[in-house]
Structure 1
Amino acid sequence: MSYTPKQIDLETFDSKIRSSYVEVSSASLGGKVVACSDDFFASRHNLLKPNPSISMKGQFGPNGALYDGWESRRHNPSFDWVIIQLATPSTSVSYVDIDTSHFSGNEAPQSQIFALSQTELSKTATKKISPNTRGWSEILPVVDLGPNSRHIFELGNDGNQGKWGWLMVRMIPDGGMARFRAFGTPTPPALPITLPPDYRSTEPIDLVSPLIGGSIVSCSDANFSPPQNLLLPGRGIDMSDGWETRRSQHQRGKYSPEGPLAGQERKEWVIIKMGVEGVIGWVEVDTAFHPGNYPVACTIEATLSEKGSDLSQAEWTQIVSKKPLGPHRQHFFDVEKSIGEGRVWSHVRYTVYPDGGSKRLRVYGYPLSPSASLTPSASAKLNLPVLPLTYEAFKPYGQVIQGYSFPSSAPKGINVTVANQGTAAKFHRLGKIEETYPEGVGKPGGSFVGCVKAQSRLEVRNGAKMKVELLERHPYTTQAFIPLGRPANSPPPGAFIVVVALNGADDKPDLKTVRAFLATAAQGVSFDAGIWHHSLFTIGGDLEYAVIERGTPDPSSLAYVEKISPSLDTYLQIPPFPPTPLPPGTIETAHIPHPAPVHTHTQNNGHDHLKSNGHPAGSGFLSSILHHGSSSTHASNSSILDPVLITPDNFSKYGSIISSSPSSTHKDSESSPDGKTTKHNCLAPIISTYPSESGAITGISVFRATRKVGLERGRVFDVRYMERHKYTSQAFLPMGKAEWSGQSEEALDEGGEFLVIVADNGPDDKPDPKTLQSFILPPNMGLSYAPGVWHHPVLILDSTIDLACVETQISTGLHGETDDRDCELLSWEGQKVFGRVAVPSL
């Protein structure tokens, strides 16, 4: 080569140079070692690890001393080598960092680097890359290395001007390297000067991805972890690989009375250069693995600045207004509708309030030249991306009703307790139920639970575009839709589209606030009273729903529902659904292990404070029979009860059934004009007789209910608990099981049924064992216990189920506090049991 490599001091590189380039060799971005001459002592795959090398001094394996790096055998006459496939197929390489940390006396004495492009590789007959592949170009001549140190070299024109996809790193003649890092600028996608009219129907790209040159420009704080992690692929492995600021600086540090930001709102920020200019469609903020230190809220701003310009003088436009964030989840935010269609940006600023940790930031959009002919303007139509439904994004319009894989993943303000003798986690008051009809307008009896059977209205396996013809609102009642489960051997469930808008100053939908979401069968929604929304729209498969509302005698009455056409043509861009599932174990799932729900405050429907039986496994009646070899323990015992399939008629004594096949005596039903949707109103009343001063609140909770130890198919179950709720009805709705792969909570395992055990109240004001009854509730039906009905706490067969629960309670679940009026629980211990039920085999 015709140049002498320049070595850069570490402080200059780390503080002034590194942030302007992408580490294109990093394993975090997809870089990998694809070939190696020898790694006898230490694996070649250590070379590209993102974390610094650690000392393993004094540790030995079968081949000798252990090192966190790459080390070859001794006595090589020429050189050892590795071939690295870079994270992007086309990139320049401007700097390399050859690190020999912890190698002292066995470090590589010298190194040399070659590069190969896809263009050169395509000229060869073989696709297997080796040192003998034609087309390798030297980009770093032989350089000397020292022990236990990093060596930064600035490359010449060959490295900077190339479009490289592979590097070959030599150790001359042999020895060890701890880490190797190559820094460059990936080749960005082409910048079109126009976009087609239907560009939103095409797949967007992540405009800040480092794989196309996205990079961090600056940030306000990086006390615990650097902002560069925000741009990495995947969802990370733990809390360490995100961006986390120091804790609150209230009245101290830069916010102290003498500090530069005294009196200002506390916040931290990071500025990101997009890999390519473009139109922004929506933004994803991921707080994976930050369950207790996520930011309270965030905003996203954008600007268009020329390369190298002073961003301190830039004009920033807020493209996502201040939005709340939640723990350990992806949040999806549409761009504000006040932003002109086709506006081009070059940088974004992500601001968190007041501080905290974020895992990833993705800015999805479409590359476009700043000189594009698509002039930014207020469009005569609205195009809405349909985004995954999350609690925080939906909060201005209502509530999302769903279970969570981990108690600490619950939204802020949602209390979580352990319920049903440790078999369930209860997420309290996820949804509210309210109605404010004028006297005599609403249906008698208050709010009810009904059921809707809905056929799919649109096949969206390849995505679809849909026009919003009407929006509606219910001015005096909340309205909740909760998908029910599916019977065994049913086809996969569909999903449903949720379109919402706030009310405007003209008492019509404010289209600046209109948003569209896709809800899976594992998610319900509750619309606040007065919120404009699209009518129920099922896609990709049929669904059955529980609906919770208070109607009017005339369902077309304006007191119940108002309908209006949007003032602008409004279109939805629906993504393909269901999407292709991600492989098991993919980093996109960001899976936190699910421990048994024992970390939160013990509670049984709000009341686990009474004595439990403490009955050890392997003792008592069931154990004694099992020890005598019986596999069907109810064969000769007439006192053992056999459950029957539940129906509206056989359960009517105890409450109501919520089903799309109601009793033949039920008359309050209606169907859509096309016959695809049938709604059965008022199947189960929501009843509360609490004294007004009790402070009891009616709401919708979710129990993530698991199998109880000792409850097995084909065995006898000892009934040792019975409970009743004197002042409230209590409805349980088995929810659907589904996921948006890689963008939602993981789906629960299929299957599961509800074993129902009830009894009459006896003359002693306790459950009468002579009246014991048992039923099997399939997953596509719900039930509601009437106030005062004795029943066993929830019993789930086969697999975990999320149960939406509609009830009135005094207890909020905060700190495990309970109120005796909410639930009366009785238990039987030792040889005493209330009854026995034969659990049916499958």
Structure 2
Amino acid sequence: MLAPQQIPLEEFDSNIKSNYVEVSSSALGGEVVACSDDFFASRHNLIKATPSVSMKGQFGPNGALYDGWESRRHNPAYDWIIIRLATPLTSLHYVDIDTSHFNGNEAPQSQVFALSLPSDGSTPMWTQGNPGWVEVLPVVDLGPNSRHIFEVGKAGKEGKWGAVMVNMMPDGGMARFRAYGLPQGPSLPKSLPANYQSLEPTNLLSPLIGGRIISCSDAQFSPPGNLLLPGRGIDMSDGWETRRSQENRGKYAPGGPLAGQERKEWAVAKLGVPGIVRWVEVDTAFHPGNYPKACAVEATLSSDENLSTASWTTIVRKTPCGAHRQHYLPLEPSVPPTQVFSHIRYSVFPDGGTKRVRIFGHPLDPSSPDAQGAVEKARLEPMIIPALPLTPEAFKPYGQVVQGFSLPTSAPKGIHVNIANQGTAFKFHRLAKPAESYAPGLLQKGGIHVGAVKASSKMDIKDGKRIKVELLERHKHTSQAFVPMGAEPGKEGKQGAFVVVAALNGPDDKPDLSTVRAFLATAAQGVNYDEGIWHHSLLTVGGDLNYAIVEAQMSVPNEIRDCEKVVPPSELHVEVPPYPSAQSSTASVSAAQVGHQTNSVLPSLTSLLPGKALKPVPITPENFAPFGHLITTTPSSSHTDTERAPDGLTVKHNRLAPVISTYPEETGAVTGIAVFRATKKVGLERGKVFDVRYMERHPYTSQTFVPMGKGEWPGHGETALSPGGEFLVIVAKNGPDDRPDPSTLQSFLLPAHQGLSYSPGTWHHPVLVLDSTLDLMCVETQIATGVHDSDGRDCELLSWEGEEVFGRVAVPE
């Protein structure tokens, strides 16, 4: 082997590094599998993605601490470490042997070998004695506290390796070892399978198949190479974050190179293999206050690494971003589905931080007939769009998403969040705003109201499904919200999902299919369609769901002002991905079971009760009538405003509860749909007595609470809340002193599959949940927005302290 060539650091970092993938990195899946000795500093430090840091002056039980790998002294031979590379098939071109912060105890010399892994996937012998080791870097000298870049020999470049062994001669310390190569990508097919849109796509930008960053406009706080890493990271440090690009400053200052241009930053990446694009994932995890306002993605096909003259195609239009969110962005309808690309340019507006970018599609030879005839193929074939995970930003052109969030900072931009109910809940204010624009006098049966829908699943989608869109509908004069309710007893963990298809109105007053999008919403998400938005009728899949619905309507049969239906102007299909019918093995535990398991060691209830503790009773439309209305799919026999779908799978109960507001117009009060993420109150325990120390009323508004469903699309958004949960309702009538009358105190148990609406002025305890955290949809009218102090006209709250209580409730076991 020829003497290895050492490369100057500046040349490597500026001109060479971006052309290769760091295949040894633990961030990509590289792993230390064997080591001769790491007495002083752990072997696992050696392949960390982050640079080594100084730990000078820090000591542990074995001696001085170092951010690297350090063996004990006086080794008569040499120490070694074996690293399984992140990909099983890669060439090797360069190594970076870093001795930063090791001075006087650095490894004097090193040597590198590579190993091909068994083709049958079996585990090789992770020992230095394995006869398969091939030398790719002969013995080289190392200095203290410095990086050493070496170009490996012909054997390394031409082989397909899955592991490396690094020798440290004779002993000492190394801060980092990085191996750079070109992973073997998937083969380039000459044609696409006929059912390719039903197949699981590949992340064409994955570094494990050769995807890599080529250039960027700015990397002030963290490098763009992080965009390609797997997973969602650990904190803000392992994404790509730019400096702030302020108006009329820096490169945008008058006379600067970008003066007068739209502020943005960008990163260019080469796909691992050329291919077609189905959709793009942009993840802003751990960037709650510095995520971009918007992003866009362009793509090009080029065999030249110099893209200065490349022609770029917009594959994702400029789209709003949210905090700590996985955004799923479909291919622009104007782009032929089989057009092939080799590079992408990801732009953020005006600046900010992004965690990951992934380009999902299928490898395809650019010379294939499918690619060459992409435009004609798109013209002749029906439009097929993917149903992607539902996010507030993607749905924004059509309405709003109603859901809770695990982090308050994840709420959509402009949504105010505050702590509510004496510290037991986060309230996400005005996620949606119900509205109607019917002409005066048309709503003879009342305005906006809350109803309930019982929907059986229309199809099993555990293997995915392609659905033809036969009709689209719109409600020209009302918004329409569908919010899944909690699971019925015995059906916990078996709730389905629903498919959302929406389009804007076109210049011909018909659906504009250039704006059509499809989403798959979980049981924990609701949608509120804006007035006049074209959408598919309610389409429940993968399991049954009950919904609360918020809308206005005339309820006159075949009245086009209530609902107008049309056939799409051209053939349209939705590709629904596989979705599990059960969320987890524990999701079938019922609320009653949770309570029993938690409190089985408590004394019996009767032994704890003082004389006059009130026992809650199951809620019904009749017993709750003095205080409000019940939102349920099993209303009282006197309720007759019910519609049944022709297929018998959907039953809709209208006007179960009116949305009432008597605020004077000058107050500026707004009707909205909020979500309370409500947790159990301290002191509220099954089998014990609960002291009622708070009662409140809302003089000018009804207030509806509906427990929402619990579901998730694993790996594609918010994690599902724990199963179970029940609502403890405590109410009282108003007394002659204009305060709640203790003699009228009543308590009810509201199960998760029902909701309620307090009439204006009804005294009630703030939200109380039993067993498990619940997301509660809340429909109310308020002056306060959640930004500043509350407005006294919204809520009158009374409290009792010390020995004085308003009442006592015996919480059932």
Q: TM-score, normalised by structure 2?
A: 0.95
Q: 1:527 aligns with which of 520, 529, 533?
A: 529
CA distance in 1, matches of 2:681, 2:628: 24
- Maintained 8 Å contact 1:124/1:133: no
CA distance in 2, matches of 1:641, 1:441: 45
CA distance in 2, matches of 1:199, 1:822: 55
Please tell me whether residue 213 in structure 1 is matched to residue 213 in structure 2: no
Task: Give the secondary structure class of the aligned counterpart of 1:28.
Answer: helix
CA distance in 1, matches of 2:408, 2:201: 33
CA distance in 2, matches of 1:243, 1:654: 54
- Structure 2 unaligned segments of length 5 or more: list them: 587-601
- Maintained 8 Å contact 2:252/2:258: yes
Instruction: Give per-residue Cα distances to partners, 1:349-380, cap 9 Å, x unaligned.
Output: 11111111000001100101111211112333
Q: 1:567: Cα distance to partner?
A: 2.0
Instruction: Tell me which amino acid in the other structure corresponds to 2:240.
Output: W
Instruction: Tell me which amino acid in the other structure corresponds to 1:148.
Output: N
- Maintained 8 Å contact 1:552/1:560: yes
Change (3 A) 1:705 1:125: closer
Instruction: Tell me which amino acid in the other structure corresponds to 2:374.
Output: P
Change (3 A) 1:123 1:807: closer
Q: 1:833 aligns with which of 802, 805, 811?
A: 805
Q: Give 1:434's aligned residue.
A: 435
CA distance in 1, matches of 2:323, 2:119: 47
Task: Give the secondary structure class of the aligned counterpart of 1:313.
Answer: coil
Q: Give 1:739's aligned residue.
A: 712
Instruction: Give per-residue Cα distances to partners, 1:273-295, cap 9 Å, x unaligned.
Output: 11111000000110000000101
Change (3 A) 1:217 1:500: same
CA distance in 1, matches of 2:489, 2:65: 53
Q: Give 2:558's aligned residue.
A: 556
Change (3 A) 1:7 1:631: same
Q: 1:341: Cα distance to partner?
A: 2.2
Q: 1:284 aligns with which of 272, 281, 284?
A: 281
- Maintained 8 Å contact 2:609/2:688: no
CA distance in 1, matches of 2:121, 2:805: 80
- Maintained 8 Å contact 1:497/1:516: yes
Q: 1:357 aligns with which of 348, 353, 356?
A: 353
Instruction: Tell me which amino acid in the other structure corresponds to 1:385.
Output: P
Instruction: Tell me which amino acid in the other structure corresponds to 2:661.
Output: S
Change (3 A) 1:415 1:345: same
Q: Give 2:598's aligned residue.
A: none
Please tell me whether residue 44 in structure 1 is matched to residue 43 in structure 2: yes
Change (3 A) 1:283 1:17: same
Q: Give 1:518's aligned residue.
A: 520
Instruction: Tell me which amino acid in the other structure corresponds to 1:146.
Output: G
Q: 1:710: Cα distance to partner?
A: 1.0
Identity of matched residues, %: 65
Alignment of 1:223-622 (within 5 A): 223-308=220-305, 310-374=306-370, 375-377=373-375, 378-379=378-379, 380-491=381-492, 492-578=494-580
Q: 1:631: Cα distance to partner?
A: 6.1
- Maintained 8 Å contact 2:609/2:689: no
Shifted more, 538-547 versus 441-450: the winner is 441-450
Q: Give 2:87's aligned residue.
A: 88
Q: Give 1:650's aligned residue.
A: 623
Instruction: Give per-residue Cα distances to partners, 1:225-269, cap 9 Å, x unaligned.
Output: 000000000000000000001113211100111211111111111
- Maintained 8 Å contact 1:582/1:741: no
Shifted more, 375-384 versus 88-97: the winner is 375-384
CA distance in 2, matches of 1:537, 1:125: 46
Q: 1:61: Cα distance to partner?
A: 2.4
Change (3 A) 1:412 1:154: same
Change (3 A) 1:583 1:650: closer
Please tell me whether residue 10 in structure 1 is matched to residue 12 in structure 2: no
- Maintained 8 Å contact 2:203/2:359: yes
Change (3 A) 1:634 1:777: farther
CA distance in 2, matches of 1:582, 1:37: 42
CA distance in 2, matches of 1:682, 1:255: 56
CA distance in 2, matches of 1:452, 1:655: 19
Q: 1:58: Cα distance to partner?
A: 2.6
Change (3 A) 1:364 1:580: farther
CA distance in 2, matches of 1:739, 1:693: 42
Task: Give the secondary structure class of the aligned counterpart of 1:312.
Answer: coil
Q: Give 1:800's aligned residue.
A: 773
Please tell me whether residue 185 in structure 1 is matched to residue 158 in structure 2: no
CA distance in 2, matches of 1:748, 1:775: 24
Q: TM-score, normalised by structure 1?
A: 0.92
Instruction: Tell me which amino acid in the other structure corresponds to 1:431.
Output: A
Task: Give the secondary structure class of the aligned counterpart of 1:393.
Answer: helix
Change (3 A) 1:699 1:124: closer
Q: 1:443: Cα distance to partner?
A: 4.5
Q: 1:579: Cα distance to partner?
A: 8.4
Q: 1:674: Cα distance to partner?
A: 1.8
CA distance in 1, matches of 2:701, 2:481: 19
Shifted more, 683-692 versus 437-446: the winner is 437-446
CA distance in 2, matches of 1:357, 1:499: 30
- Maintained 8 Å contact 1:297/1:353: yes
Instruction: Give per-residue Cα distances to partners, 1:513-568, cap 9 Å, x unaligned.
Output: 11110100000000001111111111111110001111222243111111112122
Instruction: Tell me which amino acid in the other structure corresponds to 2:147.
Output: R
Instruction: Tell me which amino acid in the other structure corresponds to 1:519.
Output: A
- Structure 1 unaligned segments of length 5 or more: list them: 585-628
- Maintained 8 Å contact 2:427/2:675: yes
